[in-house]
Structure 1
Amino acid sequence: MPFENPSRETIKQLLEEAGAIAVVGLSDKPDRTSYMVASAMQARGYRIIPVNPAAERILGETCYPSLLEIPEPVSIVNVFRRSDQVVPIAEQAVQIGAKVFWLQQGIVNEEAARICAERGITVIMDRCIKVEDAVTRPERHV
């Protein structure tokens, strides 16, 4: 059966219930899409946890080298990495008990989706979390 993203209603519910969002591949460069998206989500009140082994702090938050080092529960793993690099991230998402594995726009990996889905993790691929948040939750203010 071909992969299908959850409905907008389900996405809205996932965002409403979201605790911490780990952003894998978050750049410390303000002109990068990952930085702009994470910054906008943070401004809307979401807890952002940067995952980037090359940085110490991004957006005022402590940066972690991998999902496995994050010392608190993570609801959503939001991925800004190439499609061919996401399988190990999916495996880490399973290990930390994430609820949602979210691949940003342009990122698709069926094997990563299968790894997560088989363990009950909701998978969203090829969608921008910032756009989905704005569309499904326009009323959200901090």
Structure 2
Amino acid sequence: MVQNPSNEVRRQLLEGSKTIAVVGLSNKPDRTSYMVSAAMQNAGYRIIPVNPVIAGETVLGEKVLASLSEIVEQVDIVNVFRRSEDILPVAEETRKMKHKPKVFWMQQGISNDEAAKLVGEDGIEVVNDLCIKVDHALLRIGK
């Protein structure tokens, strides 16, 4: 099982981050991925939606990309809303990004030890089975 970074390390990671690529962001406002991403955007983060099914659409005012490989700017956090069994390809794609992110964040209910090990080998912090929005509130970011 993946050991999450301490509360203090997660606080530092969130405070030091500006851009979040959200893999699996839905265009449906009632979906968790949309609500969490909207909350993070409202907290001041730039959201880059990544979802091949709705690529080219606009979600939360941002153009949806088909894959992480299309991102040219620095991303601090790759936040993943995919089933645990579908995480490994996302981890592999994260490793190939032009600019390596600081954090690979698997949302609450999502865990994949193999994916965590893979991105961890590149020095990317891994957060497992935690909601980024809840962590942001509990760790009192920006307070």
Q: TM-score, normalised by structure 2?
A: 0.93
The amino acid across from 1:123 in the alignment is V
User: Displacement of 1:19 after TM fit?
Assistant: 2.4
> Could you tell me which residue of structure 2 aligns to residue 59 of structure 1?
60
User: Displacement of 1:3 after TM fit?
Assistant: 2.1
The within-5 A match list for 1:27-66 is: 27-55=26-54, 56-66=57-67
Show structure 1 runs of 5+ residues with no match. none
> Could you tell me which residue of structure 1 aligns to residue 69 of structure 2?
68
Show structure 2 runs of 5+ residues with no match. none
> Could you tell me which residue of structure 2 aligns to residue 117 of structure 1?
120
| Segment of structure 1 superposing worse, 99-108 or 46-55 | 46-55
The whole-number CA distance in structure 1 between the counterparts of 2:19 and 2:44 is 10
> Could you tell me which residue of structure 2 aligns to residue 100 of structure 1?
103
Number of corresponding residues: 139
> Could you tell me which residue of structure 2 aligns to residue 15 of structure 1?
14
Give the match's secondary structure for 2:122: coil
- State the percentage of identical aligned residues: 58
The amino acid across from 1:10 in the alignment is V
> Could you tell me which residue of structure 1 aligns to residue 86 of structure 2?
85
